[in-house]
Amino acid sequence: MEIIRTPVEMTAWANRTLAGGQTIGLVPTMGFFHEGHLRLMRKAREKAKRTVVSLFVNPIQFGANEDLGRYPRDFVRDCQLAEGEGVDVLFAPEVQAMYPAEASTRVVVSRLTDGLCGASRPGHFAGVTTVVAKLFHIIKPHCAVFGRKDFQQLAVIERMVADLNWDIEIIGHPIVREADGLAMSSRNVYLSASERQAALCLFRAIGHARRRVRTGPVEAKVLLQEVEELLQQEAVAIEYVSLVDQTTLQPQAVFRKGAVLAMAIRVGATRLIDNDNLFEEN
């Protein structure tokens, strides 16, 4: 596996690869890999001849009071895991290489970023779309793989790609969960043993919602209230519990195909998100 540190070198590699008639699959990450990341890498290898994983803790998607400084990092371990998955290139640029002092451009997707996580994290998605746009230009992938745990992020990136007419296939990979149901996340390392147990309320809420929609008609407002009450049984702070359309992210008054239950909570100092399309098979 080759480790590339600068955008210029990365683009040169991409140009050589494309000139050789090979396709490129990209997995954008912030590192501290877990099994969820590794499955994204496997999917990219299935879809393209050469695989690039970007490892970049993107400062412009973190708010002033968020966890940029303590975000978990382990570069050596990440390199070993990526190499074990057959990744061709790990692109790990420095911040100044991605954002020179004179940089003054942001890529912004409107409307889809107003609610859910966007409501409490102003500027977050502009940071995400800007860095992803830069990665697309630098690496020139034919496809890019993102996890569906970051459900709103995936919808926003799909919208950006469609709006800007990029010829890139965006692949949403199903949520990868621990054996007890907790969605895998690099931030899970922050949780104490008791917080880890409390966080399982998200998966229990999904299970409850799935059972309710399968046993008969139920009003969305009733089920959302039931989900909130279930979450409140644990020592967590609810940020939102919403039913939204999977494409427009607009709130839905009724449960129907394409409706997604989306949740965000804080367990201690750790913010966790989860979601489920209640009408799809697990």
Q: What is the mean pLDDT of residues 1-14?
A: 98
Q: What is the mean pLDDT of residues 2-17?
A: 98
Amino acid at 141: P
CA distances from 189 to 70, 90, 141, 174, 194 (A): 11, 23, 31, 21, 13
Which CATH topology does 2-173 take? Rossmann fold (3.40.50)
**Closest-CA residue to 26 (of 8, 44, 12):** 44
- Arithmetic mean of pLDDT over the chain: 95
Q: What is the mean pLDDT of residues 256-277?
A: 94
- What is the 3-state composition of the chain as percent helix, strand, coil, each rounded to the nearest 5? 40, 20, 40
**Closest-CA residue to 112 (of 154, 75, 78):** 154
Residue-wise DSSP of 216-264: S---HHHHHHHHHHHHTTSS-EEEEEEEEETTT--B-SS--TTEEEEEE
Catalytic residue among 37, 124, 137, 173: 37
Judged against a pLDDT cut of 70, whether residue 200 lies above it is answered with yes
d(Cα 204, Cα 164) in Å, to the nearest integer? 39
Question: Which has the minimum average pLDDT: 41-45, 199-203, 246-250?
Answer: 246-250
37 as an active site residue: the answer is: yes
Judged against a pLDDT cut of 90, whether residue 17 lies above it is answered with yes
pLDDT digits (tens, 9 = 90+) for 93-107: 999 999 999 999 999
CATH superfamily placement of domain 186-275: Pantoate-beta-alanine ligase, C-terminal domain (3.30.1300.10)
Question: What's the predicted TM-score (pTM) here?
Answer: 0.96
SS3 69: coil
- Give the residue extent of every domain in the chain: 2-173, 186-275
